[in-house]
Structure formats: C-alpha cells, structure tokens
Chain A
Amino acid sequence: MKGDAKTTVHANPFMPEPARIIRTQMLTKDVKFFQIRLADMEKALAFRYSPGQFIMLSVLGAGEAPFSISSTPSRPGLLEFCIRKAGTVTNALFRFKENDLVGLRGPYGNGFPLEEMLDRDILIVMGGLGAAPLRSVLLYCLDNRDKFRRVILLHGAKNPEEMIFREEFYSLKEREDLECFLTVDSDTTGEWKENIGVVTALFEKCRNINPADTAALVCGPPVMYKFVLKELVKLNIPKDQILMTLERRMKCGVGKCGHCAIDYIYTCLDGPVFTYWDVLHMRELI
C-alpha cells in the first residue's frame, strides 16, 4: 500500500450504539416486550423519532434485524419493542436479561405522517405483531389528545393468550376519550368478556365516522390486510388516507443493501409506512 489515504471523517450510519436492556416481559408465548435505553444517558434523552419508524438491533455473534419502535416519542428516554422469536437475532435477544447490552442504530424510515393526521378522526386497526408500530402512534395520540378528534382502536387476535398488550389495551378501555374494541377469533380461556369474531366484524362500531376526515392506520399479518382494506374502502375512507406499514427483508435500513426494494421504492427509506394508494401502484407491495 502506498501513500497515506485521506481519512475525511464520515459519520458511519452502520455504527450501533450500546444500549441497555432495562426490563423484559413475555407478552405471549413467543412475543417478548423489551424496554431498552441507550447506555449513554445524554444520547438516550436526545434520541428523537416518530411513531412508525424502526431501528436496527444488533447482537454480537448473531447479527442485526429491524424492529418497530413500540413506545411513543411523547415519553422520552426509554424505547420499547415487542419482538417475536423468529430466527437467529430474535432467539439471541430472548436469552438476554435485564442490564445486558445490545447494539442499536436508527431511527429509520418515514413513520406516520402526523401532520396530516392532525384534527382528524384516527382509526387504528391492528392484528398480531401489527400492534408493535401501532401502539406507538396510539399512545402518541392519547398523549396529544387535543390534537386529534375521535380515536378508535380495533384490535384482533386468534385467542386471548395471543393478544399482544392485552392487559394494557384492556385498561385503556377505561378511558372515555378512546373507543377501544378488542376481539378474538375464539376464546380459549373461558374468561374473555370482549368481542368474539374476526377483526372486520368490529367495523360495525365505526359506521358513523366521517370518512373524508379520517386517517385509518392498519398493520397486521398479510391475510388481515385483504379483508380490512376492503372494509375501509367500503367506509369511503380515501385511499391516500389509509396508512399501512409493510415488512420487507432489511439488511441495512439506510437504502444501501437493496433487500427491501420494490420497483424503485426502498421500503427502508420511502417506507415502511405507505398509503393504500401507493400500494395499489406498486404491484409487489402486498
């Protein structure tokens, strides 16, 4: 090697920050809740994000994977995640205990268009792990309650044991400024007092919304989209006011690795939040 290479200082977007696991809790038999804080307190407090954004978590020896932020920026300091055991990284994360260190970088992605949601009715429809990103925006709306009109939550799960944040959402039912409807396909516990049936059955509860002034937010397993989108269109909510977050394989989060590409869209930069209108124009999206 000859000569001295120039070494302009570049911020390295791939560099993880050490972050400490503060608390963990099993939510269902394969989904775990994590509270994590950047180890550097100043950085922890300065960390800015918006609901719908995601971060990359890394575990030495296992690798890195994207996760939606489940907490709300209106409660700074702690970041919350709910993580399903799926493969190498998530299995390693499940073995981690309180006080252990992981790597964290981000936030990435566009997040929900909060500006466009102001002064509108907010209809949130979640299923399965879709609760992860949508809990962030739900809590954000509740913390800034006067900025939004009606806030409606429809949440469906296979059975009560698989309902993520069951207890938390259950207690939210107490709030008068939130219309919260929970449903399960079947009650395996014998103690379920809420609705039984698929999530689309809950749409009965929002017949009287004002569609032109509603932002609908959807996230859940692929099968859910098909039925829920149909209902939302039936309610006459404009397609560009139906927002959804999408999952793609992601290796970098910053538009370089190419894994999340759909046509000329990079899900990690241009998403993960898209409108139904976008989706109809990108054939591969769902």
Chain B
Amino acid sequence: MRIVKLKKENLFPFLEVISKEADLWAPVKKYEDKHVFKAVEDFSEIDLDYQRTIIPPRRILLPPKTNMFEATQNTYKEDFSNVSKKIIFGIHACDVNALVIMDRFYNFAYDDPYYTRARENTLILGYSCWPDEHCLCKSTNTHIVTEGYDLFFSKLDTHYLVWIGSSQGDDLIRKQPSLFNEDISDKDIQTYLNWQKEREDAFQAEIDFIDMPDLIELKYNDPLWEELGKACLACGSCTNVCPTCNCYNVYDKPILGKNASKIVRCWDACTLENYSEVAGGENFRENRADRLKLWYTHKLQAYISKYGKPACVGCGRCIVSCPVDINVLTVGKTLSGEKVDAFWKRFNLQVKKEVRK
C-alpha cells in the first residue's frame, strides 16, 4: 500500500483524465438532502458533501431489473448489456465494506456472472466521511476500509491523502502522476491523525454487535417480534436501501410478436408477503413478525456465525428510511434490553390503550 497527496484543485482534472475510458459514477444531489449515485458527464453536479445515498451502490452493479437472457425455445443468449467499464467515485467506507460482503456472497459456491462481470469492470474510489446521528459503522467496525477499494480519498484542509489499494488504482494515478505529490510532511500526518481522532469521537449511535447472535437466539420467542410485526407495513424499503441485501426474483417477459422471452431478474424483499410461499399456497412466513425475524437474523446473526462479523455495515439507511422506525438500532437496542423511542413502540402502546377502552 502506498499513500500519495493530491491538491484539492487537482481533483477534477484527475477525474477528467480517468473518466476518458470509463463511466464515472459519483454522488449528486437529487432533492434537499437526498443524494444518489449517477453517471456524471458534468462534474459540477458532483456533491461530495453528502451523508448517504438513498439507494446503495450495489444498484450500479445489479440494477433493480437485470436482463439475464434473451431466450427462444432452444437458445439462451446471455445478456451482459449492463456490464461496462465504470468508476464509482465518492463511495463511503461503509459502502466499500458492503461491496466486500457482496463480492464474497456472489462468489460463494457458484460464481454469479451478472455480478462478477460488472464488478470486475468497476473501480472503487472511496471517499472519507463524517458521521451523523444515524451512522452505526463504528459499531460494525466498517467505518474504516482495509480492503475492497482501488483508491481511497481522505479529505484534509487543502488536499487529499490518497490510499492506493490495488494495482488498478495505481494505474489510475500513473495516467497523470504530475497531479500527485509523494512528500507527505509530518504536519500532514498530524493533521490526518487529529482528524481521525476527532472522527472516532464524533460517532453518536452505537450498539454492541458482539452479543447479537446470542440475543437473537435467546430472544427468538420474545414478544418483541410480534410488536414489530404489528407495526411493519411490509413496504420493503428497508431491503431496497440496505447495501448488503441481495434477494431477487426471476420472471419470463415474453417478447411480443416473437416466440421468445427475456429472462429478467428483479430485486425482491424478504419483508414482502409472498416471499416464502411454496406450492399449494403454503407460506412458511405468513406473518410479518416471522419475516422481520428472518431479516434481523440475517443482519445480526447469520453472517456473524459464518464470518465473525455482522452483515450490517452500519450505513444507517434502514434508520432513515423505515416509516415506523424498525431498524438495526431500535431492534438491536431493544434486544439488548435498552429503552428506545420509536414509532413502532408508540404504535403498540396506542393499540394496547385502544384495546383496553
């Protein structure tokens, strides 16, 4: 690993150089404080002062709808039209770590070519961030990156420190080395360390993930799940915004006038009603409580048991997007016996009151 220095005013010239051979995706403002990743031509659109994008960057690799095949009775033609050379710039540490989880998942047992091909044509240029009250990534230890990036930009006062994480990242720098500078002074190092320290102290949200696998097990029959189930709208938002969710559905879309179909894969959510239905209409998870239990088992227990860390990277998206405040923070805290203030709690109290009347 090598670290170089880039003057702030050299950032756009650098992006200019590297975007000649690949589509550059970067955060842009959609409305108010909401951001999305977008393929940008006009760099003035880029807004690096963002907290979290609405939809996680996995969307760029596997969009909500992906055509897998164009098929006729006996030929299946693979469709990789989504695959192109891409550079994702401005992606925060939690999302880089989420992609590492995705990489592992899509390569496990069988290699998923729709993800893998898109992924191997994509370079990840991370960007430092500052936590808000919803960022949980320090608790998940994903507020820093150790792998999964090609370059990582840490913003200091007048310049960036740029971590080079891969040889492809190094190639990018070499396209115009004159933009960069190798002599990092003691002062630079101190500024970075101070920033780092301040950032560590700035985290507000916190939960203890170590106990989660045990708590999920011990509280499997806790009334909490029914309470959550009663308030959940089964809207699927939590799943759409989570950077480590990956479930999908597949359907045949007949092409009109031809005896042919497109085989399409589209995002699905385990929080939706018909997710676990099998033949004969039998549904193994008919009620919302059971489906939420599956979701939280996955985020807080399953991955920890397998890989020693949670499948949650603490991005805070479920916290800002669930209309009834069902999220890792309120669920995690309630599991560990802490009191929380959440819509689903007030909702259940209200329901109880009305029942009493």
Interface positions of A (Cβ within 8 A of B): 1-8, 10-16, 18, 39, 60-64, 84, 86-87, 101, 103, 222, 247-249, 251-252, 254-259, 261, 263-264, 269, 283-284
Contact = CB atoms under 8 A, between A and B. Distances in A.
A87 B282 CA distance: 13
Given A5-B83, A12-B78, A61 B252 contact: yes
A245 to B, nearest CB: 13
B73 A256 contact: no
B350 interface: no
A261 B302 CA distance: 10
Contacts of B301: 263-264
Contact of B68 (A14, A255, A283): A14
Contacts of B21: 2-3
Main secondary structure on B side of the interface with A:
mixed
B251 interface: yes
A16 B86 CA distance: 29
Contacts of B116: 10
B251 A8 contact: no
A264 B306 contact: yes
Contact of B282 (A10, A18, A222, A254): A222
Contacts, number: 136
Nearest to B280: A86
Main secondary structure on A side of the interface with B:
loop
A248 B110 contact: no
The 8 closest A-B pairs by CB, nearest first: A264-B302, A258-B247, A10-B113, A3-B85, A86-B279, A254-B110, A3-B21, A13-B110
Contacts of B105: 256
A8 to B, nearest CB: 6
Interface stretch (B195-203, B290-298, B330-338): B290-298
9 contacts: A5-B121, A6-B120, A11-B113, A12-B78, A60-B252, A87-B279, A263-B302, A264-B303, A284-B294
A48 to B, nearest CB: 16
A256 B268 contact: no
Interface stretch (B25-33, B131-139, B146-154, B270-278): B270-278
A269 B220 CA distance: 24
Contacts of A64: 250
Interface in B242-279: 246-252, 254, 259-261, 268, 270, 275-279
B72 interface: yes
A60 B85 contact: no
